[in-house]
């Protein structure tokens, strides 16, 4: 038995893999069969299995990895931190990495969202932002503000609380009876929904009109609107014009409703600016960050909030305080990985370098634009996507398999194929991703 096959069999028997019908791993004969890929090590944008085959990580290992696997500078920072302090509880204690990271994040918001609250995953960050918003309104004497708004196709995590603002059927439907106060779902500004003659800005304005209508009637009892700025990832890289965010900001101000930007996927330079919302020239009241913030190394999430929100919790009464905690809140190793990641943005001038890489990605996918079954080729910074028209319910798995065979990790969302590589991807590797996408498309459509 090859080393790969051994790990594969042992994993199948003992590990319950996420977001997976485990039978699809076991039944090799099924058209739905998904190969489980045992990874021995990573280096830069490449992952290596136990038999020496390598895969180009075209989706940054679920959108987390920014500067490649086993990045030497992040490794060195973590080694040093390991020798100093691996963890201490954050209630009643503090430490260097969490203070420095909070200061750096504050500076990245221009000082506007200067208070950082920590957790370990994105779904928890979503729940923290929702709880903070609700509790803020309660603290200022507006307890009736207890409803949330999200966009059609929104994804903000899969814990029972976060599912309330997630609108992706495959994640939500089975658990609908558990989700207690589902948020109101608003029309999405996704520019694929534009009617003939409508520009992306037009559909943004049309979607914002829906928000305006809702707030006119229900603003009094609405606490917050949560959005994935510019790109709704799990919806299938649904992109919208920044105009939507500008209008949403104005409407939220008018109706005294918080604007929460979930930058878990789009933050950390993914769309071209450090935060996606910067492209609309607005400031949210709350920001959720996770995924890339630790460079894809360790579970870490952060909620950043304004002075106004923070100050409403200051009081002699414990009940007005934000009584929320996770055991690993502000873990020093995770914060150190995040600091090393932010250092790389500065020393490598990542945002500038990425502008050129984004053009290479555009060029690598350009030949597919003419394909008769490809539609809506679109891009925002280091995210590029297209939709494939096919009635085959197994398209996504067949494409994924064909891409793996050709040496790249590309995992479509339904019929949407996307590239979201680590920022260290080289020009030749970008070209390879384009080639593999074209090849896998032909095989999957056969
Ligand atoms: C991944 C993601 C989340 C959830 O993060 P987890 O760490 O997987 O819980 C929330 N919001 C967005 C936009 C995401 O992409």
Instruction: Please tell me the predicted confidence (pLDDT) of residue 48.
Output: 98
Q: Which helix (H) or strand (E) holds 416?
A: strand 416-419
Other C-beta atoms closer than 10 Å to the C-beta of 69 total 23
Instruction: Please tell me the predicted confidence (pLDDT) of residue 2.
Output: 87
Burial (CB count within 10 angstroms: exposed 0-12, middle 13-18, buried 19+), residue 329: middle
pLDDT over threshold 80, residue 312: yes
Topology of domain 72-348 in CATH is 3.40.640
Helix ranges (H only) for 23-181 are 23-26, 60-63, 72-82, 96-108, 122-139, 160-163, 169-172
Other C-beta atoms closer than 10 Å to the C-beta of 154 total 24
Helix-strand-coil split of the chain, %, nearest 5: 45, 15, 40
Q: Which residue has the tokens 């194929």?
A: 417
Instruction: Please tell me the predicted confidence (pLDDT) of residue 150.
Output: 98
pLDDT over threshold 90, residue 26: no
Q: Which atom of ligand 1 is nearest to 126's Cα?
A: 10
User: Ligand 1 centre from 291 Cα, in Å?
Assistant: 7
Q: Where in the chain are the domains?
A: 3-70+349-445, 72-348
Instruction: Please tell me the predicted confidence (pLDDT) of residue 181.
Output: 78
CA distance 359 to 257: 38
pLDDT band at 30 (very low <50, low <70, confident <90, very high): confident
Q: Which atom of ligand 1 is nearest to 121's Cα?
A: 7
Q: Is the dihedral of CA 251, 255, 256, 261 positive or negative?
A: negative
User: Ligand 1 centre from 122 Cα, in Å?
Assistant: 4
Residue-wise pLDDT for 250-286, tens only, equals: 999 999 999 999 999 999 999 999 999 999 999 999 9
Q: Which residue has the tokens 């935060």?
A: 275
Output the 3-class SS for 308-371. HHHHCCCCCCHHHCCCCCCCCCCCHHHHHHHHHHHHHHHHCCHHHHHHHHHHHHHHHHHHHHHC
What's the rounded mean pLDDT across residues 299-312?
A: 98
Helix ranges (H only) for 227-331 are 243-254, 307-311
For residue 379, the 8-state DSSP code is E
CA distance 208 to 259: 13
pLDDT band at 73 (very low <50, low <70, confident <90, very high): very high
Q: Which atom of ligand 1 is nearest to 299's Cα?
A: 7
**Helix/strand/coil for 31:** coil
What's the rounded mean pLDDT across residues 107-120?
A: 98
Q: Which atom of ligand 1 is nearest to 157's Cα?
A: 4
Pocket test for ligand 1, best of 265, 294, 334 (most atoms within 8 A of CB): 265
User: Ligand 1 centre from 202 Cα, in Å?
Assistant: 28
Residue-wise pLDDT for 86-108, tens only, equals: 999 999 999 999 999 999 999 99
Instruction: Please tell me the predicted confidence (pLDDT) of residue 415.
Output: 98
pLDDT band at 34 (very low <50, low <70, confident <90, very high): confident
CA distance 68 to 340: 13
Instruction: Please tell me the predicted confidence (pLDDT) of residue 424.
Output: 98
Q: Which residue has the tokens 């009736």?
A: 144
User: Ligand 1 centre from 3 Cα, in Å?
Assistant: 33
Q: Which atom of ligand 1 is nearest to 233's Cα?
A: 15
Residue-wise pLDDT for 139-180, tens only, equals: 999 999 999 999 999 999 999 999 999 999 889 889 999 997
Instruction: Please tell me the predicted confidence (pLDDT) of residue 83.
Output: 98
Q: Which atom of ligand 1 is nearest to 234's Cα?
A: 15
pLDDT over threshold 90, residue 1: no
Topology of domain 3-70+349-445 in CATH is 3.90.1150
Annotated binding site for pyridoxal 5'-phosphate: 122-123, 262, 326-327
Instruction: Please tell me the predicted confidence (pLDDT) of residue 213.
Output: 97
CA distance 118 to 302: 5
Give the dihedral of Cα atoms 371, 373, 378, 379; nearest 10 deg: -70
Instruction: Please tell me the predicted confidence (pLDDT) of residue 64.
Output: 98
pLDDT > 70 fraction of the chain, expressed in percent and rounded: 100
CA distance 289 to 276: 11
pLDDT over threshold 80, residue 321: yes
CA distance 165 to 144: 19
Annotated binding site: 62, 122-123, 155, 262, 291, 325-327, 411
Give helix 350-365 / helix 427-445 axis angle, nearest 10°: 40
In this structure, which residue's CA is closest to atom 6 in ligand 1? 122
Any residues with Cβ below 6 Å from ligand 1, and which? 121-123, 126, 155-157, 228, 233, 262, 264-265, 290-291
pLDDT > 90 fraction of the chain, expressed in percent and rounded: 93
Annotated binding site for substrate: 62, 155, 291, 325, 411
User: Ligand 1 centre from 265 Cα, in Å?
Assistant: 7
Distances (CA, A) of 24 to 7, 34, 36, 403, 441: 17, 5, 9, 17, 21
Residue-wise pLDDT for 190-222, tens only, equals: 999 999 999 999 999 999 999 999 999 999 999
Residue-wise pLDDT for 385-421, tens only, equals: 999 999 999 999 999 999 999 999 999 999 999 999 9
CA distance 389 to 161: 34
What's the rounded mean pLDDT across residues 328-353?
A: 98
82-86, 279-283, 317-321, range with the lowest pLDDT: 317-321
């Amino acid at each position: 038995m090859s080393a790969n096959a051994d790990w594969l069999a042992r994993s199948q028997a003992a590990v319950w893999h996420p977001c997976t019908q485990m039978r699809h791993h076991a039944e090799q004969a099924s058209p739905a069969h998904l190969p489980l890929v045992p990874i021995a090590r990573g280096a830069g944008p490449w992952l290596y299995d136990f038999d020496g085959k390598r895969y180009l990580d075209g989706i940054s290992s679920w959108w987390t990895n920014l500067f490649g696997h086993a990045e030497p500078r992040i490794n060195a920072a973590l080694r040093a931190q390991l020798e100093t302090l691996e963890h201490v509880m954050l209630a009643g204690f503090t430490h260097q990495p969490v203070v420095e990271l909070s200061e750096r994040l504050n500076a990245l918001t221009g000082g506007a969202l200067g208070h950082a609250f920590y957790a370990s995953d994105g779904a928890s960050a979503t729940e923290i932002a929702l709880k903070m918003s609700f509790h803020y309104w309660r603290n200022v004497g507006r307890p009736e503000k207890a409803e949330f708004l999200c966009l059609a196709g929104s994804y903000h995590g899969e814990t029972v609380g976060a599912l309330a603002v997630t609108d992706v059927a495959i994640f939500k439907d089975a658990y609908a009876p558990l989700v207690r106060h589902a948020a109101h779902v608003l029309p999405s500004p996704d520019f694929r929904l534009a009617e003939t003659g409508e520009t992306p800005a037009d559909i943004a304005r049309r979607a914002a009109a829906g928000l305006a209508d809702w707030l006119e009637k229900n603003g009094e009892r609405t606490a917050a609107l949560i959005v994935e700025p510019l790109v709704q990832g799990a919806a299938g890289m649904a992109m919208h014009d920044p105009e939507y965010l500008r209008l949403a900001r104005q409407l939220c101000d008018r109706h005294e409703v918080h604007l929460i930007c979930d930058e878990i996927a789009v933050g950390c330079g993914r769309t071209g600016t450090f935060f996606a919302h910067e492209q609309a020239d607005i400031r949210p009241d709350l920001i959720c960050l996770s995924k890339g913030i630790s460079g894809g190394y360790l579970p870490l999430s952060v909620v950043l909030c304004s002075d106004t929100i923070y100050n409403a919790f200051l009081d002699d009464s414990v009940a007005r305080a934000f009584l929320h905690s996770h055991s690993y809140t502000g873990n020093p190793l995770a914060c150190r990985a995040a600091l090393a990641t932010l250092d790389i943005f500065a020393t490598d001038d990542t945002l500038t370098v990425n502008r050129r890489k984004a053009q290479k990605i555009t060029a690598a996918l350009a030949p597919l634009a003419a394909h008769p079954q490809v539609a809506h080729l679109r891009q925002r910074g280091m995210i590029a996507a297209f939709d494939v028209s096919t009635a085959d319910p197994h398209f996504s798995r067949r494409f994924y398999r064909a891409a793996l065979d050709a040496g790249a990790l590309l995992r479509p969302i339904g019929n949407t194929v996307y590239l979201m590589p680590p920022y260290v991807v080289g020009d030749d590797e970008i070209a390879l991703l384009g080639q593999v996408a074209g090849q896998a498309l032909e095989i999957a459509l056969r």
